[in-house]
Amino acid sequence: DAEAYTLIATIFNPIIEVIHEGFKPTDKLPPSDFGDINTLVYVDPTGEYVVTTRVRCGPSLKGYAFNPYLTEANYKEM
């Protein structure tokens, strides 16, 4: 929830600064660069093979596998 960054900034900001090694609330992320969008092509222009796709980004913890490979024991440890 985006409001959380404002409502509980006193909690979030120190955590974010530690996790992101000094990234302060006044710092700005670099602009996104997805390359030359004119070079992107439809991989399935007729819609014959690709029905849907999804991209998921999630956090990971050092020493643990990415989410799809975590076990119940891993979750309990975390």
Half-sphere exposure of 15 (CA within 13 A, CB side): 6
Q: Is 46 part of any known ligand binding site?
A: no
Give tens-digit pLDDT for 26-62: 998 778 777 888 888 888 888 899 888 887 766 677 8
Rounded distance between C-alpha atoms, residue 7 and residue 2, angstroms: 9
Q: Is 18 part of any known ligand binding site?
A: no
pLDDT of residue 1: 66
Q: Give the domain ranges of the chain.
A: 3-77
Q: Is 39 part of any known ligand binding site?
A: no
Rounded distance between C-alpha atoms, residue 62 and residue 77, angstroms: 13
- pLDDT higher than threshold 90 for residue 10: yes
pTM of the complete model = 0.38
Calculate the average pLDDT of the chain. 84
Q: What percent of the chain has pLDDT over 70?
A: 95
* Residue 14 DSSP SS3: helix
**Which residues in the chain belong to E strands, given as ranges?**
none
Q: Is 55 part of any known ligand binding site?
A: yes
Per-residue pLDDT, averaged over 9-29, amounts to: 90
